[in-house]
Amino acid sequence: LPPHVLVFPLPLQGHVNSMLKLSELLCLAGIHVTLLLSKFSSSRLRRHSDVESRFSRYSGFRIAVFDDGLPEDNPRVGESTIDLLSSILRVGETELRKVLEATDSLSDGGARRRVSFFVIDGVLSFAMPVAEELGIPVVYFRTISACSFWCYFCSSELIAAGELPLRGEDEGKYEYWRNPNLDLPVTSIPGMEAILRRRDLPSFLRVTDPNDSVLQIMAAETRKTALSAGLILNTFEDLEGPIMDEIRKRIPNVFSIGPLHTHLKSHLDPQSSSLASSSFLREDRTSIDWLNSQPPKSVIYVSFGSLTQLTEEEHLEFWYGLVNSGHMFLWVMRPDSIAGSDNRHRNAAIPKELEEGTKQRGYLVEWVPQMEVLAHPSVGAFFTHGGWNSTLESICAGVPMICWPYFADQQTNSRFVSHEWKVGFDMKDSCDRVVVEEMVREVMGDRRRDELSER
């Protein structure tokens, strides 16, 4: 019987997306795969994606489920993602043991080998002792960029050097953004001395106290990577080779296996690959119909990912900037994308000039087939949160970016996009309609857009 791999992502859209692509590549190589998802993420995935029909061709593929410990009505977006991580770290080991014991290590009554290998998300180290007891090797898969992983790995050096982007106890978000200390260079991360400022460090390092519990969790989980059989990253050497070299000095078995979406596409026929979806939300294909009616490179595509939550003020600043830019825009607005409100009942609050401007130049949808959108000839640029999947997809599609990072690795990704890889602009720590308008005009200007695309 073929080897049997347990693939265990943190059950958030971006993490599951990458792990599903890896799972399909393993299936194509004849390996049996069990993807372990929370009940919540499995339900969303089955409801809104083609995962069941897509994987039906692989007889060795299964989905197993566990309870993430959160109530059904927890939104699991925005700041609630920390609730999810904390809950899984609390219940995860017990839940993993339960799944393995109830199914004789997922062997299907002898139809498949017992699990012989773990690929686990890089923040789920509780799986390590379970694997050790079973005598099973564990490889970590961090679904973030190599550059942001390296920042987390060096967090103790940052603390020792006093280079954390500390925030005052009573300092509001916008006041904090204006803090000049955030522009001081970071000198304690090998290989990044000439690149990063403190504001470019991952958001979980933006704390009021170096002993912050989330920072300590992220630092500890990342350090444990060195105890595994290896680390895989969804990146490629031409993009992040110098940082990969630094990581290998501390973790010898590091493998760059990306971009996963292009590898998968090359193994499948183009039609089936373009239809493949790993979405927790229903994809609105009218977005493609709308793009079909627009001139080449005339549209800026706007999406801040599956977890970002804007304030009402931020939402309006972006909207005014887009309308005032004079360019066509396709904007993904999830129903839960504004903190503390329900988008579905907001029409009465929309200023008339935005309503009129959007009728003329915009198209608003709740979710789209993103890779298809980025590959569309009408799309000229991408206004993004800078999540790693989105960043890779945009780079591979040759679409320049404006990055407005929300949290986690996005702060670091946006700096590399603008200053190291030079494939877009970094708009972090700013939310002003004039800046949005200017950046959209610049990235959509023919000459500038072509310069960024060619890189």
Catalytic residue positions, numbered: 15, 121
Burial of residue 172, with CB atoms counted within 10 A of its CB: 0-12 exposed, 13-18 middle, 19 or more buried: exposed
Burial of residue 403, with CB atoms counted within 10 A of its CB: 0-12 exposed, 13-18 middle, 19 or more buried: buried
Q: What's the rounded Cα separation, in Å, for the pair 140 and 119? A: 6
Helix (H) / strand (E) containing 223: helix 213-223
185 DSSP 8-state letter: B
Strands 254-256 and 117-121: unpaired
C-beta separation of 297 from 67 below 8 A:
no
Helix (H) / strand (E) containing 63: strand 61-66
Omega into 259 within 30° of 0, i.e. cis? yes
HSE at residue 414, side-chain half, CA atoms within 13 A, is 29
- Among the residues of 178-252, which ranges form H helices? 213-223, 237-248
Q: What's the rounded Cα separation, in Å, for the pair 398 and 25? A: 24
